[in-house]
Chain A
């Protein structure tokens, strides 16, 4: 492969050229929410490890996770979780070859945004 020119070629995606669209924005948000959930997941693992260790360790972890900052991370993560889950359902639908037309994909995108907000409200009220 030494002779292949791997420089100076146009590369996809052309993020700097495209106008932001509902389909691209909802796709990028899927990636952001999925990866950002690492923060909450590590906090939860720490909380479980502290609970297993003893009351003092638990008090420290619990104080962080229930502080205003912890509450903010957890509330945002609840939305990220529901958004990522619904966007994942959209991908499972697309994987069957359905819903790939632009108008349908845009409707599904709106459903993901709206659905994630509703589910987040329900979760924050119920939990």
Chain B
């Protein structure tokens, strides 16, 4: 066992066939966010500090509501993949697994909460 080469260890194991999936997911979501975030900044931004009924009325309109829903949903999926790489670089062992699972839960939880809230306001 002590003299096994790296090649010998890998031969016959096959490939996972999804080595580029993570990078491609980041590419897709980053291009989407490049379009969505400016739209979100200039629709959500002016509403900060406005009274409650004005905010509800504004986000009852299709465009601001759809932009906000898409930005937060795609944004949290982009964050989920990005923070996973951060954790993989700096956290090791069991703590790495726990941290990645917690951040995935947080990302889906925040995205679902945002979608629920915006839908409730809009409908």
Contact = CB atoms under 8 A, between A and B. Distances in A.
A127 B86 contact: no
B118 to A, nearest CB: 6
Interface string A67-106: 0000000100010010001001101100100000000000
Interface residues of A, number: 36
Interface residues of B, number: 37
Contacts, number: 90
Chain A interface, DSSP helix/strand/loop, else mixed: helix
Contacts of A127: 41-42, 45-46, 48
| A37, A38, A66 — most chain B CB neighbours (10 Å) | A38
Interface of A: 1-3, 31, 34-35, 37-38, 41-42, 44-45, 47-49, 51-52, 54-55, 58-59, 62, 65-66, 74, 78, 81, 85, 88-89, 91-92, 95, 123, 126-127
